[in-house]
Chain A
Amino acid sequence: MTYTPNSLRSGPDERGHFGIYGGRYVSETLMPLLLDLEKQFEKAWQDPAYQEELAYLNKEYIGRPSPLYFAERMTEHFGGAKIYLKREELNHTGAHKINHAIGQVLLAKRMGKTRVIAETGAGQHGVATATVAALFNMECTVFMGAVDIERQKPNVFRMKLLGAEVKPVTSGSATLKDAMNDALRDWVTNVHDTFYIIGTVAGPHPYPKMVRDFQSIIGQETRAQILEKEGRLPDKLIACVGGGSNAIGLFHPFLDEPDISIDAVEAAGHGVDTDQHAASILGGSPGVLHGNRTMLLQDEDGQIQEAHSISAGLDYPGIGPEHVWLNEKGRINYVNATDEEAMEAFQLCCKLEGIIPALESSHALAHLARIAPTLDKDKIIVLNLSGRGDKDIFTVADHLGVEI
């Protein structure tokens, strides 16, 4: 892929920074590995054999390209812009996470690693990692907060069926950030044979770039598909953002199109003005955690605060560094949706389209509900339906007061 100079798509710089964000803030033990990983990734990315294998697995194993579906009933319901859903929930394992898991496991194989580890919140990235580990016959350990294990039981069972060991994390708030700490601890201890498959566009360089490049297939397909269906590019893109991998995947190939407006939806939990949310850009401040400088939920002493979202996958006190940079550049509008708004949107999507969306994606749908009616009927919105909601039925039932 060729980039034009000064393009919004040309980051990060050679040291892994997006402006002042990103970088490599890790213990020295990991530095030689990260420097090597960066080289190996660049080499693999340029290697036709690697690209061929990736393309084959994307098509035959994941089921790509995922459809770009015209949501006719939703469009009628809102009475404004035409709504298209990028159906990442139809991927094998039910979310976009498999896109970067496949890419990373291929890299692990090339680097001669025999074991993969991952952290997971909702369990989608854990399932994706367990899946590719099974496919490539690698030992797999997934770190998951004890709280998340409780609220995402079906995914825990899936990981175990796939042969992965799920390690409960009880330190701190026992959620995603703590799972990432334990994964880093494991990695630094087993650095010789272990590849850390990071589940979002965060962590030390080259992960934010690497995961973005794997996920950018979402936006690349969307470009081709919308040109075929509508003969032009969309007017607006919408995606939910926790760490930000599905969002950057859809957005990145469109960043240099100034006429396309882009909205990323953070999880506002009980509201960004409360202390119960997961909106790192809207409610956080700059800091350094988990290998990168980014926006974090933290107190005035620099201690990390617990995030809250009804969606375990968005429940992280940080966000990918490229998002923070794109926010500062004013290229992406960061907005928010609360637990309640996401729940409403979840139910609406089920009823109107016969699609059970992930609670993560429901945050994007909640924002869509605000935006679509305000746009003219000739406008086009593409929303990334990043995952399916089967995993969330227990949380939803609980919220609705239904026993299942």
Chain B
Amino acid sequence: MSRLPKTFERLNREKRAAFITFITGGDPDFETSLKILKGLPAAGADIIELGMPFTDPSADGPSIDKAAQRALASGGSLKNTLKMVAEFRHDDQETPIVLMGYFNPVYTYGIESFSTDAAEAGVDGLIIVDLPPEEDEELRGPANTAGLDVVRLITPTSDDERIQTIVDGASGFVYYVAVAGITGAQSSTAQIAGDAVQRIKKHTDLPVAIGFGIRTQEQAREMAKVCDAAVVGSAIVETIAADLDKNGKASVETASKTLEFVKSLAAGVRSA
């Protein structure tokens, strides 16, 4: 069993939603990114989504696209992302890490060896955004065998039949993309998202996370009231970007400023 169900069971007992934070592995450089990663649990992250940088992140908005390009420019790669996870695990055996990204780097790495290497590094789950249920079989087998959950996405365009197709075979949790669009786009309302979560819960017992468009403490609080986990990505990545100099280099404060912002969001989730 991966760390995901354990974490959701614990939070369920505490009667609160999980706070999931997203950063891109290696953004803006390996050291700063690792420092942020290591600081996330203390700042209030219950689960960490770690982006695998890719040249062509066509489901992401400008913020996460730029984060990926920064990571790649400073030597980011799938191998280095796994290395970050391994280093994180030296100090933290509790916090689940879910890798988020696109299929091509995984496919090129080799699906079998990627699955075993990722599990060995301490990864718990995978979100591959361009791998719909129709195409994810070749990854799911090896990933599940290695002990990794494959998290699937549900969107506002998914009808009941589609939701059933998606939850059959998903594990860890399901991720409700609250807006039909790219990351960082306009947010949904807690009312609309909450209705969708209720619809999804008719099809599955898996925890339901909500992402896309949560940017403030207040939004985090509202969303956390209607789901099992609230995901914040672009807003955190933008905090990293805001502290970089014009050459894209981090300052000594980049990590601490980012973690401060994460703390404020975590407070929102915890007060829901």
Residue of B nearest to A183 (CB): B58
Chain A proximity mask over B88-129: 1 for CB below 8 Å, otherwise 0: 000000000000001111111100000000000000000001
A172 CB contacts on chain B under 8 angstroms: 55-56, 69
Cα(A27)–Cα(B136), bound, Å: 12
Q: Is the CB of B105 within 8 A of A301?
A: yes
A9 CB → nearest B CB, Å: 24
Q: Is the CB of A301 within 8 A of B162?
A: no
User: Is A15 an interface residue when CB atoms closer than 8 A count as contact?
Assistant: yes
User: Is A224 an interface residue when CB atoms closer than 8 A count as contact?
Assistant: no
B132 CB contacts on chain A under 8 angstroms: 24-28, 31
A200 CB → nearest B CB, Å: 16
Cα(A23)–Cα(B56), bound, Å: 18
User: Is A29 an interface residue when CB atoms closer than 8 A count as contact?
Assistant: yes
Residue in B55, B79, B130, B181 whose CB lies within 8 Å of A291: B130
Cα(A303)–Cα(B108), bound, Å: 9
User: Is A51 an interface residue when CB atoms closer than 8 A count as contact?
Assistant: no
Residue of A nearest to B134 (CB): A24
Cα(A184)–Cα(B61), bound, Å: 11
Q: Is the CB of A188 within 8 A of B180?
A: yes
Q: Is the CB of A302 within 8 A of B56?
A: no
B182 CB → nearest A CB, Å: 5
A192 CB contacts on chain B under 8 angstroms: 180
Please classify how large the interface on chain B is, using the bins under 10, 10 to 19, 20 to 34, 35 or more.
35 or more
Cα(A296)–Cα(B182), bound, Å: 24
Q: Is the CB of B134 within 8 A of A31?
A: yes
A-B CB pair tally, cutoff 8 Å = 118
Chain A proximity mask over B161-179: 1 for CB below 8 Å, otherwise 0: 0100010000000000100
A301 with B79: in contact, given A27-B59, A32-B158 (CB under 8 Å)? Answer: yes
Q: Is the CB of A303 within 8 A of B130?
A: no
Q: Is the CB of B108 within 8 A of A298?
A: yes
Q: Is the CB of B130 within 8 A of A26?
A: yes
A28 CB contacts on chain B under 8 angstroms: 132, 152-155, 157-158, 166, 177
Q: Is the CB of B104 within 8 A of A289?
A: yes
Cα(A293)–Cα(B108), bound, Å: 12
User: Is B31 an interface residue when CB atoms closer than 8 A count as contact?
Assistant: no
Chain A interface mostly helix, strand, loop or mixed? mixed
Q: Is the CB of A302 within 8 A of B162?
A: no
A171 with B65: in contact, given A27-B130, A31-B132, A290-B58 (CB under 8 Å)? Answer: yes
Residue in B57, B102, B108, B180 whose CB lies within 8 Å of A300: B108
Interface centre among B69, B130, B156, B182 (most CB of A within 10 A): B130
Q: Is the CB of B56 within 8 A of A177?
A: yes
Chain B proximity mask over A281-314: 1 for CB below 8 Å, otherwise 0: 0000111111101001010111110000000000
Cα(A23)–Cα(B131), bound, Å: 10
Q: Is the CB of B157 within 8 A of A191?
A: yes
Cα(A287)–Cα(B180), bound, Å: 26
Chain A proximity mask over B139-166: 1 for CB below 8 Å, otherwise 0: 0000000000000111111110010001
Cα(A288)–Cα(B55), bound, Å: 12
Chain B proximity mask over A177-201: 1 for CB below 8 Å, otherwise 0: 1101100110011011000000000
Q: Which residues of A line the B interface, CB within 8 A?
A: 15, 23-33, 171-172, 177-178, 180-181, 184-185, 188-189, 191-192, 285-291, 293, 296, 298, 300-304
A sample of 8 inter-chain contacts (CB < 8 A) reads: A23-B134, A24-B135, A25-B135, A32-B158, A189-B182, A288-B104, A303-B55, A303-B77
Q: Which residues of B line the A interface, CB within 8 A?
A: 54-62, 65, 69, 72, 77-79, 102-109, 129-132, 134-135, 152-159, 162, 166, 177, 180-182, 185
